[in-house]
């Protein structure tokens, strides 16, 4: 007759094997989800850009024939400036980031002097504020990892929260000049936003 301990060990082993298989499946699904979300964001951005161009009735400008090599650069810069939609002015006359031709745009504005973190959507602003607090506590060079940011935001430290809700936001803020990633996976305020805080 098998011992009780032996039967428990068999069931424990079966449960462990099942758990590891489910964990591998969950990791595969989360990786596929991250890839799918990334592709989705790219299509959303592409559609938004096309929409802006169509709304503005923009046509690719014909560059004038430059007289010198320096003129090529100047002509290209002028054409690019004409093709880029300009942000609309608010009631006070100040430029309103995230608004193009009076219509809201759900993008992260590129950081520029005078921009306050209040222009960011709530989830982006929350990550910046965690790093502002870190900078105030330990100097501008103070960095935080995604799990540390998640904890500071009161999130449960899960792969979904770390990858989907913190790392994605932090990486986007790096792209737009609000944060820097001096070491892989660790973030801090960029010099401009740090000085403005």
Instruction: Provide mean pLDDT across the span 17-25.
Output: 89
Q: How far apart are alpha carbons 173 and 111 in whole angstroms?
A: 9
Range in 40-44, 81-85, 105-109, 127-131 the model is least confident about: 81-85
Tokens of 34: 């991250």
pLDDT over 80 (residue 64): no
pLDDT at 197: 61
> What is the chain's mean pLDDT, rounded?
75
Please state the three-class secondary structure of the chain as a single string: CCCHHHHHHHHHHHHHHHHHHHHHHHHHHHHHHHHHHHHHHHHHHHHHHHHHHHHHCCCCCCCCCCCCHHHHHHHHHHHHHHHCCCEEECCCCCEEEEEECCEECCCCCCCCCCCCHHHCCHHHHHHHHHHHHHHHHHCCCCCEEHHHHHHHCCCCCCHHHHHHHHHHHHHHHHHCCCEEEEECCEEEECHHHHHHC
Question: What local confidence, expressed as pLDDT, does residue 14 receive?
Answer: 92
Top-confidence range, 31-35, 69-73, 135-139, 183-187: 183-187
pLDDT attached to residue 15: 92
How confident is the model over 154-178, as pLDDT tens digits? 988 888 888 888 998 999 999 988 8
Q: Output the six-digit token pair for 10.
A: 């068999």
User: Residue range 118-125: average pLDDT?
Assistant: 88
Which residue from 69, 101, 63 is spatially nearest to 85, judged by alpha carbons?
A: 101
Quickly count: other Cβ atoms within 10 Å of residue 155's Cβ: 16
pLDDT value at residue 107: 73
Does residue 90 surpass a pLDDT of 50?
A: no
pLDDT for position 164: 81
Q: How far apart are CA 77 and CA 80, in angstroms?
A: 5
Higher-pLDDT residue of 146, 104: 146
Query: What residues contact 164, with CB distance under 8 A and at least 6 apart?
Result: 33, 34, 37
């Amino acid at each position: 007759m098998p011992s009780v301990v032996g039967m428990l060990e068999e069931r424990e082993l079966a449960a462990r094997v099942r758990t590891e298989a489910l964990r591998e499946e969950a990791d595969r699904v989360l990786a596929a989800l991250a890839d799918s979300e990334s592709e989705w964001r790219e299509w959303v951005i592409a559609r938004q850009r096309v929409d802006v161009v169509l709304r503005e009735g923009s046509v690719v400008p014909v560059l004038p024939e430059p007289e010198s090599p320096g003129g090529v650069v100047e002509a290209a810069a002028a054409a690019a400036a004409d093709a880029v939609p300009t942000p609309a002015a608010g009631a006070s006359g100040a430029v309103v980031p995230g608004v193009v031709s009076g219509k809201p745009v759900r993008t992260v504005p590129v950081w520029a002097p005078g921009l306050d973190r209040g222009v960011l959507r709530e989830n982006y602003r929350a990550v910046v504020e965690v790093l502002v607090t870190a900078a105030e506590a330990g100097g501008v060079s103070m960095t935080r990892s995604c799990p540390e940011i998640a904890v500071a935001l009161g999130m449960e430290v899960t792969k979904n929260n770390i990858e989907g809700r913190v790392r994605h936001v932090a990486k986007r803020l790096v792209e737009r000049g609000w944060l820097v990633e001096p070491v892989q996976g660790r973030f801090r305020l960029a010099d401009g936003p740090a000085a403005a805080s």
